[in-house]
Structure 1
């Protein structure tokens, strides 16, 4: 008589940074909708992070919110320990599968007015932070997982805007880093891609769209598809890239912008 051994299904788990609102929140919810547990991070917006956890739980998923300052690498070892603890406590796992490097912040300054402090602050948040956070968490990542970095279509020639030289340059550096990560991590079967959103209705630039809704119609006309982006437009692509549908995609920077300035 043959006895079948039933293998216990292990839920995949994703870490999504900057998920208290906007693109990160959408990505966390979309990834959870596809059956993965989510560890989502927040900086100052704890209530927004808890609301995201509640939304995921309401839809039948599992999520944990942890604080993280992406610009403070000194806090990364403690964050890694918190992730390890959440994995053991919530999912009875020692590893996670997906990392979404979404946390960051905007900054606008003309080159002749840019201070070294401004330059360094953006560098810490937009490039150094994602680089060393990935390095710190890599030992906890399972082989065969996936990483998605959030970049920006401001790196494209057609979207050059005065005042964003530092921001766009650092997002460009993250795009290059994505390719190198894909190369180096491929030995472990870890795929790495980036998504480059266009102008999207988020808390970007201190809630610029919320504070100045009058700018939206003119901006929308610069999009081939006739509107500015919504967080779910980007979040669904991120979820696809870390999911089974993205299993043969790596080292790509995918613009998700509705044809801005096409």
Structure 2
């Protein structure tokens, strides 16, 4: 039996990155401008790249042993001089392909997609507490969120903060302090879930303790929902009741939906037909 010819392999080559990227700011701008082909900026990767590039600049070249085989099977060992990367930007691009940084980049990308779908009220909260020209940059919780090192954790807590501020009446005094406590508990639970997803073991008793503390804390706060949310819920409830009454009174008859018969329909029809014949 002859071998099946495989499809010809095509070598993919990434479009060369411009040499004009010289600084961290240039790098971030470039990555943000090429989201379709580049992963988002990872702070940890940049810091590691700076350290590595600095180390390389002290020796500039290195040697590497290259082992090759001749057609006769003889092994040839030769020493090759390699020019080390001393540019942090180029070192970043070399290191960003490592799994540890690629994983972090994907987490950032996922969180960014989630925050892209904010409504106008949520976007207003982002502008109020997290924009560079915000009047509330000294907000205690916003500063705390900004100090969280892990990007995925930071984006998660930021999303939860936006959610609470969007849905509840929370003042800048005691309510804010209580909210920080709630967010701290949620962050601890998020870390447990992240460790579990990574295959790490977790203490069930500790997790249950945190969930109980979160539930009891939230119940004790008794925050009031914003009037906007209450009005929206009432409007939705009124529409549901109105539509239900129309259906009951026969004023509204939904268009009948046709579904193609499937295997279950065939079995039911066969069973009914068999029972009908038994009764004849």
**Structure whose residues are more often helix by fraction:** 2
* Structure with bigger gyration radius: 2
Normalising by structure 2, what TM-score? 0.23
